[in-house]
Amino acid sequence: MAEHPWLTVIGLGEDGPDGLPPASRQILDSAEVVMGPPRHLSMIPESAAERVEWPVPFSDGLPLLERLRGKRVVVLASGDPFWFGAGSVIARHFEPNEWTALPGQSSFSLAAARLAWPLEQVLTLGLHAAPLTRLRPHLSPGVRMLVLLRDGAAVQTLADWLNEMGFGDSHLHVLEALGGPRERRRSTTAEALSFDDIQHPVCVGLEIDGEGRAISKASGLPDQVFESDGQITKRPIRALTLSALAPKPGEHLWDIGGGSGSIGIEWLLRHDSLTATTIEPRAERAERIRRNADALGVDRLNVVQGEAPEALAGLPMPYVVFVGGGLSAALLEWLKANLPGGTRLVANAVTLESEALLAHWHEKLGGDLLRIELAQAGPLGPRRGWKAAYPVVQWSVTL
C-alpha cells in the first residue's frame, strides 16, 4: 500500500467526527474533497473542503469518485465500511495502492453490547438493498440475528413478513441511531409491533420464535418446499445427488435442465460462498426457478433460459456440473471438450436411452456408475405395500 494514498474511507459513527480517533480526524481535516451521503456530510463541520453527495444508486458514485483521483479525498461511510458497507465496493473498483480505510465502531458491535449477545454466536446481515427472504434459511426457533435495514418502514415490513412465515412470536429489539445522541431501544414481537416512528439508521435484533417451518440444513428438502409442475428431482434422489456433487466453499455449479431449480437452490443453501447458474430451456420453468430461489433466500441463483450446450457459451466456468435434463451425446461431448480438467460432472438418467448413454460414457471416461432403486410404502387394497419409483442411474466423474 502506498504511504499516502489519495483516497481514505473513514467509518463515521452517530456521534460524528467527535468520536473519531486522532489519525482519522487529522485526515478528515486535511481533505480537499469529502464525499458521502447527506446524513454523514451533515455531521461534519464546515471547512474548505469541497463536499460531494454520494448519489443513489450507490454505483453511480463510483464515476464521480474516479474523477477526483489526484486530490486528497475522504469518503464517509457508516461504522465499519467492510462489514456490509461501502468499503468492499470501493476496494473492488480501485487499485490497492490508491486507498486506505479507517473503520469505526460497527453497528453490530454496538447492538451486541446493548443486548448482551455474544457476537460470535449471532448471525449478522445487511439488508439495506437486499430482499428480506435472505433471512429465510435462518428462520428457526432460538436463532438470534442482527439485521441492518434501510429505514424505519422496513422494520414493519420485516414484522409483517415474519408473521406471514409463521414466526410472529419472534422478539424484535429495534435499535435506532446507535452510539449517538438519538439512540433509542424498544422491544416487541413481530405480531405486536405497533410503533411507527422508527428513525434511520436502524438495526434490529431478532430472536426467532413461532410455529413456522424451519428449513433443514440437511440435503434433500421436502418436495413441497418447491413450487413445481412435476419436473423435480425428488427428495431422496436429490439428497444423493447433492452428496455426489460434494459442494465445497467458493465453488460454482452449472445445473443443466433446471426444472424447478431444486438442485441449484439446495447447492446454494449449503454455504453462502457457493454460486450457481441454472440453465432451463422453458420460459415458464425458468420463471418458476426464480420464484423458488427468491422464496428460499438464495436470490443470487443465476437463471439462464436457453438450450444446452448453446446457452453455456460465455458463462463463468464451473467447478461442478449437474445434468438433470436434456442429457445427450452432443451435450456430453461439448462438456468434455470445453471444461477444464478437474471439473466434477454428475448426470442422472431415467430412460433406457439415457441410461445406455451414461453406461457408454462410464466405459469411456470411468468414474462411478450408481443405480438407485427406491420404493415407498403405500395403500394396497385394505393393506399396505411397496410402490416402486422409476430407477435412476447416476454417473459421477472428474474430467
Is residue 214, in this structure, part of any structural domain at all? no
* Ranges of the chain whose pLDDT falls below 70: 1-3
What the block records as the C-alpha cell of 260 is 424447478
Taking only the tens place, the pLDDT of each residue in 112-144 is: 999 999 999 999 999 988 999 999 999 999 999
Asked, for residue 217, whether it belongs to a domain, the answer is no
- Boundaries of domain holding 66: 7-105
Last residue of one domain, picked from the residues 53, 85, 105:
105
Is 158 inside a domain boundary?
A: yes
Q: Please tell me whether residues 75 and 130 are part of one structural domain.
A: no
CB 165 within 8 A of CB 297: no
Sign of CA dihedral 7, 9, 14, 18: negative
Are the C-beta atoms of 166 and 210 separated by less than 8 Å? yes
- Separation between Cα atoms, residue 149 and residue 132, nearest integer Å: 9
What pLDDT, on the 0 to 100 scale, is given for residue 2? 41
**120 backbone dihedrals φ, ψ, rounded to 5°:** -70, -10
* pLDDT confidence of residue 3: 61
Q: To 5 degrees, how large is the angle CA 83–CA 87–CA 91?
A: 130
Pick the closest to residue 297 from 385, 165, 149, 170 (CA basis).
165
Q: What is the structure's pLDDT at 1?
A: 38
Distance CA 154, CA 136 (A): 16
Q: Examine the domain organization and report whether 240 and 155 are in the same domain.
A: no
d(CA 336, CA 339): 6
Q: What DSSP state is assigned to residue 231?
A: -
- Cα–Cα distance for residue pair 293/284, rounded to 1 Å: 14
Q: How far apart are CA 124 and CA 82, in angstroms?
A: 13
Does residue 218 fall inside a structural domain?
Answer: no
> What is the reported pTM?
0.90
What are 141's three cell numbers? 426457533
**End-of-domain residue from the set 64, 79, 105:** 105
Domain boundary among 64, 80, 105: 105
- 14, 84: one domain: yes
User: 374 and 261 in one domain?
Assistant: yes
C-alpha to C-alpha distance for 16 and 28, rounded to whole angstroms: 12
Cis peptide before 57 (omega within 30 of 0): yes
178: CATH: 3.30.950.10
Residue type, 198: I
Same domain, 177 and 164: yes
Identify whether 215 is part of a domain: no
Instruction: Kindly state whether residues 28 and 65 are assigned to the same domain.
Output: yes
Q: So what's the pLDDT on residue 231?
A: 85
If one counts the domains in the chain, the total is 3
